[in-house]
Amino acid sequence: MLKTALQPKWIAMLALALILATVFVVLSAWQFGQSRTESAPSEEITEEPVPLTEVHEPEQPMALEQADRIVTLSGEFIEETQVLIDERLQDGESGWWVVGAFAVDGAPADEVIPVVRGWTDDVDAVDSLPAGRQLELQGRLLPPEAPIPGEREAAHVFSSLSPAELINVWDLPSYSGFLVAFDVVDASGQEIGAEDPASPLEPVWVGPQPEGSSVNWLNLFYAVEWVVFAGFAFYLWWRLVKDAHEKEQEASALDTEWEEQWRLEYLAAIESGQSPEQAEQTATDEAARTLDEKDAR
């Protein structure tokens, strides 16, 4: 079989199998890398306040390392942008998040970011938005929620906090995420957010997401599948070489049997008195007939 495998045709086929196997292994490595999701940033990173404008760009998807960070920003709330996000739990009770559009100082195109000011279980007790005042905010930056289709109970009440949905209402360019404010102070340093005892809102606290990573089993399955394909490329080459070798052996055995049968028929023809030329023809015919009969059986 080694002699068959060393034929130029099969060496070229082996080179092709090597190329295919290499491609399959590379694809397997890529799928394996995709099977593990990136872990959340550690609390040492997320809990260190950084300016929003240094962490996240407006109108850009939020990467995992950007989400969950505590950020600082300055600017002012925009008038008539206050909305409510319903079905928000606080200490086991259902209520509303109170949200306003906050114009961020230093944003490239004066973009706003939705800011959760606090929580309430009584919409009638919600105070007005402190618009037009220069404020300093600190809070946690979170990725957007998906819009929930369906009719809203009121024009200013939403089922999810989706900046993509809110910008259609506010008609303002926005960051892709939103902010849960922990601390809101004015230029004099006075607390005017939900942390103020006089505020009708309760503070909303969102803790850092737990660290760790998860496995995407579908990608992991594909990674194993590509390895199997790589092995199959070599198996297919080996099987083709083996079949070619067996055919060569069968052809060689058939030639040997033909020669032996032809020799016997030739000798028998000579003994019967035929000339060498006649004996050759008779031996050829009889050898062919005998082998055909064996094949038929």
What CA–CA distance (Å, rounded) separates 290 from 215?
67
- Residue 48 to residue 81: CA distance in whole angstroms: 30
Pick from 174, 173, 105, 166: which is nearest to 133 by CA? 105
The whole-number pLDDT of residue 38 equals: 54
Look at residue 183 in the predicted model and tell me its pLDDT.
93
Q: Please report the pLDDT score of residue 41 as a whole number.
A: 56
**Under 8 Å between Cβ of 138 and 72:** yes
E strand or H helix at 90, and its extent? Answer: strand 83-90
- Compute the C-alpha angle 85/46/200, nearest 5°: 35
Predicted local confidence at residue 294, as pLDDT: 63
The conformation of residue 102, written as its DSSP 8-state character, comes to E
Note the Cα 76 to chain centre separation in Å: 39
| Residue-level pLDDT at 194 | 87
Per-residue pLDDT, 43: 61
H or E element at residue 167:
helix 163-170
- Looking only at Cα atoms, what is the longest distance across the chain? 133
- Domain residue ranges in the chain: 2-29+217-296, 43-186
pTM for the whole structure: 0.59
Query: In the chain, which residues have pLDDT < 70?
Result: 35-44, 210-215, 287, 290-297
CA 106, 111, 115: angle at the middle one, nearest 5? 100
Strand 93-104, strand 157-158: pairing: unpaired
| pLDDT on residue 252 | 79
Report the C-alpha gap between 49 and 46 in whole angstroms: 8
CB distance 51 to 233 below 8 Å: no
- What pLDDT is stored for residue 71 in this prediction? 95
